[in-house]
Amino acid sequence: MLGGYTILRSPNPGVSLATSARFRSTLTLSPLSPPNPPSDDEGDTITLTVESSQFHTVYTYLYTCSTSSLTLTESSTVPTGLVKRPSSPPSPTSPTFESTHGNKYVQACVETTLEYFRPQNNNGVPNLTIQLHGDREFYTGEPQQHNNNGSSSTPQPYVAPIVNDVTTPTSKTVSVQKTGLGSSACLCTSLVSTISHYFNPSLSLHTIHKIAQVAHCEAQGKVGSGFDVATAVYGSCFYTRFTPWDTTREEEGIRSKVVRDWDYSCSSIDVTTRGWSLMLGDVMGGSESEGMARKVMKFVNGGEDEGGVWRGLEEKVKEGVNIVKEGTGGRDDDLEVREKHNGEVREKVKEVRRALKRLGELAEVGIEPDEQTELCDGTTAIEGVVCAGVPGAGGRDAIYAIVEDGVAKGRVEELWRGWGGGGKVRWIEGVDFDREGGLVVEVEGEGGTRRTLKGKGRLEEVGGWGIKRLLKECRDLGLSVGGCVEKGEIVDKLKEMGYC
- Tens digits of per-residue pLDDT, 452-473? 666 665 544 444 456 666 666 6
Amino acid identity at 128: L
Phi, psi (deg, nearest 5) at residue 384: 95, -5
pLDDT at 156: 45
At residue 239, φ and ψ (nearest 5 deg) are -135, 140
Q: Which pLDDT score is estimated for 365?
A: 93
CA distance linking residue 385 with residue 356, whole number of Å? 21
* Chain segment 207-243, per-residue pLDDT in tens: 999 999 999 999 998 999 999 999 999 999 999 999 9
Cα 493 from Cα 500, distance rounded (Å) = 9
Residue 357's H or E segment, with its range, is helix 335-363
Q: Which residues contact 315 (CB under 8 A, 6 or more apart)?
A: none
* Model pLDDT, residue 363: 93
Q: 172: which strand partners?
A: 164
CA distance to 33, 70, 72, 198, per residue, from 29 (Å)? 11, 19, 19, 10
Alpha helices for 364-458 (secondary structure H): 370-380, 406-418
What interhelical angle do 467-476 and 487-496 show, nearest 10?
30
Report the DSSP pairing between strands 265-268 and 237-240. Answer: antiparallel
Distance CA 214, CA 388 (A): 32
Residue 469: predicted pLDDT: 61
370-380 and 335-363 are packed helices; what angle lies between their axes, rounded to 10 degrees?
Answer: 170
Q: What is the pLDDT of residue 95?
A: 29
CA-to-CA distance for 35 and 126, rounded, in angstroms? 12
d(CA 267, CA 443): 27
What is the side-by-side order of every strand in the sheet holding 277-282? 385-389, 398-403, 277-282, 426-427
Q: CA nearest 280: which of 385, 395, 435, 388?
A: 388
Residue 122 phi, psi (nearest 5) = -90, 5
| pLDDT, tens digit (0-9, with 9 covering 90-100), for 252-307 | 788 899 988 899 999 888 887 788 999 999 887 555 556 888 899 999 988 877 67
CA angle 161, 163, 166 (to 5 degrees): 155
Which pLDDT tens digit goes with each residue over 47-62? 999 998 877 789 999 9
The DSSP secondary-structure symbol of 429 reads T
Burial class (CB in 10 A: 0-12, 13-18, 19+), 144: middle
| Phi, psi angle pair for 417, to nearest 5° | -65, -35
φ/ψ bin of 423: left (φ > 0), alpha (ψ from -120 to 50), beta (otherwise)? left
Q: For residue 383, what pLDDT is reported? A: 95
Pick the closest to residue 434 from 144, 145, 189 (CA basis).
Answer: 189
Distance (Å, whole) CA 235 – CA 186: 11
Main-chain dihedrals φ then ψ at residue 125, nearest 5 degrees:
-125, 80
Predicted pLDDT of residue 456: 60
Name 133's bridge partners: 24
**In angstroms, rounded to a whole number, what is the distance separating the alpha carbons of residues 2 and 280?**
16
Say what the pLDDT of residue 89 is. 36
CB distance 438 to 456 below 8 Å: yes
Residues 216/108, Cβ–Cβ less than 8 Å: yes
pTM (two decimals): 0.80
For the chain, 500 residues long, the average pLDDT of each consecutive 10-residue run is 94 94 90 50 85 86 92 67 33 33 85 94 85 85 42 44 42 64 93 95 91 95 93 94 83 85 88 86 67 88 83 96 78 74 95 96 94 96 96 86 92 93 84 89 71 58 54 59 63 59
Is residue 179 within 8 A of residue 200, CB to CB? The reply is no
φ, ψ at 80 (rounded to 5°) = -70, -15
Q: How many residues does the chain have?
A: 500
Per-residue confidence (pLDDT) for residue 91, from 0 to 100: 35
List Cβ neighbours of 135 (8 Å cut-off, separation of 6 or more).
Answer: 21, 22, 23, 158
Residue 318, phi then psi, degrees to nearest 5: -60, -45
Give the bridge partners for 401, in sequence order: 279, 388
Residue 269 buriedness (CB in 10 A; 0-12 / 13-18 / 19+) = buried
**DSSP-derived secondary structure for 228-249:** HHHHHHH-SEEEEPPPPP-TT-
CA torsion through residues 14, 15, 21, 24, sign? positive
> All domains of the chain, ordered by start, with CATH?
18-145+154-268 (3.30.230.10), 273-427 (3.30.70.890), 467-500 (no CATH)
pLDDT value at position 254? 87
